[in-house]
Amino acid sequence: MKFKKCYQQIAKKNDIMIKNLKDMEDIYVER
């Protein structure tokens, strides 16, 4: 169970990073 919780935290961080990359792509495309 402890491992699963750590994995969920990593997955959440990765989702945020992917979202940020997509936001940056959108900003770059708009220029």
Q: Is a pLDDT exceeding 90 seen at residue 15? A: yes
Calculate the alpha carbon distances from 10 to 1, 3, 6, 18, 29 in Å: 15, 11, 6, 12, 28
Q: Which two tokens stand for residue 15?
A: 């989702």
Query: Is residue 1 scored above 70 in pLDDT?
Result: no
- Structurally, how many domains does the chain consist of? 1
The reply to whether the predicted model has a pTM over 0.75 is no
CA distances (Å), 4 to each of 9, 11, 12, in order? 9, 10, 12
Mean predicted lDDT score pLDDT of the chain: 85
Look up the domain containing 31 and give its range: 1-31
Residue 28 CA, distance from chain mean position: 18
Supply the pLDDT for residue 25: 87
Query: What is the mean predicted confidence (pLDDT) over 1-10?
Result: 83
